[in-house]
Structure 1
Amino acid sequence: MKKLILLLAVTLIAAFALPTFAADSSFAEVKKAGKLVIGLDDAFPPMGYRDASGKLIGFDIDAAEEVGKRLGIKIEWQPTAWDGVIHSLNSKKFDCIWNGMTITDERAKEVAFTKPYIMDGQIAVVRFTDKRYKSLKDLKNVKVGAQKGSSALSAVKKLPTAPAELKEYEDNPKALLDLEAARIDVVVMDNVTGRDFIAKRPGKFKVLPGFISKEPFGVAFRKDDTSLRSKVQQTLDKMVKDGTMAKISRKWFAEDITNPKKW
């Protein structure tokens, strides 16, 4: 009788344990479908946006397409409203979100992120030929420009030394025009946006080392899709190691901003 009870107990424990340790099939399902469907806002340069012909281009586009190539699957892009992008992911309208998405504690409650693949944040941009400033600590008694209503205004308050003057602009291009004309000394702005401007106008501006504030970007998956997230992460890690991510970064930002050692 005792052996029978023991056998029954072991059987019941095994039965209840099976769902907990069941293999996640998310990558297998994507592999079977032959495609990875990615949600994005297709108007976010330089991460993902449309060129004059309507073709989808950008850093995230190139990186994801390379991941798809290495995994042997097609990448299908699904433009979606950004304000409901997490809900759409969890409603299974697509498999992941890959679109310069900032990793936050609040978002991490609803989705599972990869490790950061780019460290975004607020940066300080100065003239390329200006030798006075080599680090953020050198920004003393300076005239700073920043976009109205942007998070750059909060970042200005985090500078090591308060600026002598803060001038607000309708947009970053106008601030950079004043910087180029030496009417201000520095522009505080978003990292990826700033580097997009710099890449398009080589020899005009440069970024001081370091971030005033950090905002890491990650690829977001449904929390249960662990095998899919793991496969994408492993592929991204290899792309960092073999220099592919650096190559894509230099194409869009004129330098490598994907190396975690530089963050």
Structure 2
Amino acid sequence: MRRETLLPALALTLVTTAGAVTIGTTDDDTAPAAGHAPRTLLDTVPRRGELRVCTTGDYRPFSYLDPATGGYTGIDIDMAEHLGAGLGVQTRFVPTTWATLVDDLTSGACDIGMGGISVTLPRAREAYFSTPYLTDGKAAIARCADADAYQSLEAIDQPGVRVIVNPGGTNEAFVRANIHRATVVPHPDNNTIFEEIVAGRADVMITDASETEYQAAIHPELCALNPDDPFTFAEKAYLLPRGDEEFKAYVDQWVHLATNDGTYDTIATPWQP
């Protein structure tokens, strides 16, 4: 008798509790509708009318925030606009840093990370990567007058050489792992870091080969050192929330089409040296 009395009461409690949870989540654009699987960003982004893109704004030619205008430009800025247009929404850029990029994405501050992001295993533990759209690798850039002196990693890693690095990303990780005898000079602003080499306050920077070529093109005093034979192999891709298979599948298909139908090349060509 006691069991029969308790079961109906327990059932009533569960129904009441479930009803309370449903009421509390109906205004959340990520809440699942009754009888349906949890909603993916493929649904919520069009419903919201906005694609939120985390980008650092300090990595030309992929992402640059102009301090004078407050506007973003770059290959991945245009690609983000193209992705948003395909979803039928506006694109909003969310400022981030290399040190906080993954945290900003996983916290829900943005829907996707874009802007020359290198694929790494530590990042892959926290988030998904899209299909890669570019092959790259770490290479050096230095004053052209000194280029012959820095043709190898061993030649760079010598006492008295000043290797400048922006903190928080794969550049710093590479330098910390491979530079032991040269002096490492942290510089917080990746937008002005190359001027430090031009001015003689640093000797070398190691960054992605694509960036060395671009920066050498806009700074005649600087030369990209062996960008076609970088120190490492790397790929660039877009950072996506882990677990959202439907949104990842859509972005992967978009990347595949854009890199094969001429869209990416059309966007990237004006930024090439």
- TM category, shorter: 0.5 to 0.7
2:91 corresponds to:
75
**Secondary structure of residue in 1 paired with 2:238:** strand
1:181 corresponds to:
none
Pair 84,202 (structure 1): closer, same or farther in 2 beyond 3 Å: closer
Give distance in 2, aligned partners of 1:85 and 1:213.
22
Where do residues 183-194 of structure 1 align in structure 2 (5 Å cutoff)? Answer: 189-191=206-208, 192-194=210-212
Which of these residues, 243, 254, 257, is aligned with residue 224 of structure 1? 243
Give distance in 1, aligned partners of 2:164 and 2:153.
22
Give distance in 1, aligned partners of 2:136 and 2:195.
19
**TM-score between both structures, scaled by the size of structure 1:** 0.64
Tell me if structure 1 keeps the 8 A contact 2:143–2:198.
Answer: no
Query: What are the Cα deviations for residues 235-256 of structure 1, in whole angstroms up to 9, with x where unaligned?
Result: 11111112221232232232xx
1:114 corresponds to:
130
* Post-superposition offset of 1:27: 0.3
Residue identity opposite 1:39 in structure 2 = C
Give distance in 2, aligned partners of 1:44 and 1:189.
13
Pair 83,140 (structure 1): closer, same or farther in 2 beyond 3 Å: closer
Tell me if structure 2 keeps the 8 A contact 1:146–1:172.
Answer: no
Identity among equivalent positions (%) equals: 22
Where do residues 98-247 of structure 1 align in structure 2 (5 Å cutoff)? Answer: 98-124=114-140, 147-148=163-164, 151=174, 172-173=194-195, 175=197, 189-191=206-208, 192-201=210-219, 205=223, 208=226, 209-247=228-266
Residue identity opposite 1:198 in structure 2 = A
Query: What are the Cα deviations for residues 207-252 of structure 1, in whole angstroms up to 9, with x where unaligned?
Result: 6323211332221111121111221221111111122212322322
2:107 corresponds to:
91
Give distance in 1, aligned partners of 2:198 and 2:88.
43
* Post-superposition offset of 1:55: 1.2
**TM-score between both structures, scaled by the size of structure 2:** 0.62
**Secondary structure of residue in 1 paired with 2:249:** helix
2:33 corresponds to:
none
**Secondary structure of residue in 2 paired with 1:241:** coil
Which of these residues, 7, 18, 42, is aligned with residue 57 of structure 2? 42
Tell me if structure 2 keeps the 8 A contact 1:115–1:218.
Answer: yes
1:15 corresponds to:
none
Query: What are the Cα deviations for residues 66-95 of structure 1, in whole angstroms up to 9, with x where unaligned?
Result: 222233222111113543332332222221
Give distance in 1, aligned partners of 2:39 and 2:131.
20
Tell me if structure 2 keeps the 8 A contact 1:155–1:213.
Answer: no
Tell me if structure 1 keeps the 8 A contact 2:142–2:205.
Answer: no
Give distance in 1, aligned partners of 2:77 and 2:128.
20
Structure 2: give runs of 5+ residues left out of the alignment: 1-35, 166-171, 187-192
Residue identity opposite 2:262 in structure 1 = G
**What root-mean-square deviation, in Å, do the aligned CA atoms of Structure 1 and Structure 2 show?**
3.9
Pair 173,194 (structure 1): closer, same or farther in 2 beyond 3 Å: farther
**Secondary structure of residue in 2 paired with 1:38:** strand
2:269 corresponds to:
250
Structure 1: give runs of 5+ residues left out of the alignment: 1-20, 133-137, 158-165, 179-183, 255-263
Give distance in 1, aligned partners of 2:216 and 2:246.
38
Give distance in 2, aligned partners of 1:212 and 1:111.
26
Give distance in 2, aligned partners of 1:120 and 1:173.
23
Tell me if structure 2 keeps the 8 A contact 1:143–1:167.
Answer: no
* Post-superposition offset of 1:54: 1.8
Runs of 4+ in 1 over 4 A off after TM superposition: 21-24, 124-128, 138-146, 152-157, 166-178, 201-207
